[in-house]
Amino acid sequence: MKNKLILSSVLVLAACGLSESKFQDKFGDKLCEEYAACNPETDCEGSDADADALDCDYDKAKAKECLDGAYECDDSFGEGFEFITVPAACGEVYTNCTGATTGDDDDTAGDDDDSAGDDDDDAS
């Protein structure tokens, strides 16, 4: 009986982890907060990226690790070029992603647009 109680408690706690939408909100806030601390002369307005455009596996544990990790201000490029380095776990929150990543699939080599190298207007 004691083992069942412990197991059910662990399952309930695991189910109460950080939801994906809550992580996205908190991560955006965290980036702005850290960026403002790193470079107080600029404003952070967050990202308009549509995370729902991708189909990914979401890792709650990595999301928590990402938010709790150490964010550092990298000023190695000099004043005015400061940027934030995020914990490595942030790159592991979403895995196995499928779907469009740039929305710019029309500019590939070999397409039939009027680009340089097109011989349509050359004099013979």
Distance between CA 75 and CA 38 in Å, rounded? Answer: 8
Highest mean pLDDT among 2-6, 46-50, 55-59: 55-59
What would the pLDDT profile of 66-115 be if each residue is shown by its tens digit?
A: 999 999 999 898 887 888 999 999 999 999 998 755 554 444 444 444 44
Q: With bands split at pLDDT 50, 70 and 90, how would you rate the model's confidence at 9?
A: very low
Q: Domain ranges in the chain?
A: 18-44+53-98
Can you tell me the mean pLDDT for 24-41? 91
